[in-house]
Amino acid sequence: MLRTCVLILLSVASAKLAFGQCVVSVSTIPVSCSGFCDGEAFTTPFGPEPISYIWSTGATSTSIAGLCPGTYSVTMVDDTGCVAVSNFEIFEPAPIVVAASLVSGPTLPGACDAVIEYNVTE
């Protein structure tokens, strides 16, 4: 049964290639912290090679890194001239907010026994 399923999938893939259809999908990695520009995007193409890429940033590789939060696109052109475009967004987590409050001050001048409470939220 598994063999039949694999043969069907290969047949569908061959049919798409024969008709010149091409598809590009993009996988993304969001930025690691609010305000950072370390997001990444990777392409998963479907079409005859060689395949060329042009990202909205001007890059021409299969993946890009150092992305700030925002909307981007990639255009893929395969060997038959088929063009596929994918738009995607790089997200960022909410900023981390730290609030400190003094619970109790030092017991004597110069003592190091004050208590401070921190509240950390996203």
Residue 2 — pLDDT band, cuts 50, 70, 90?
very low
Other beta carbons within 10 Å of 55: 19
Is the whole-model pTM more than 0.75? no
Could you read off the pLDDT of 77-122 as tens digits, one per residue? 988 888 999 999 999 988 888 898 988 888 889 888 888 898 888 7
Question: Ramachandran region of residue 20, left (φ > 0), alpha (ψ -120 to 50) or beta?
Answer: left
pLDDT at position 20 is 53
In the predicted structure, residue 34 carries a pLDDT above the cut 50: yes
Assign domain 22-93 one CATH number from 3.40.50.700, 2.60.40.10, 3.30.200.20, 1.10.510.10: 2.60.40.10
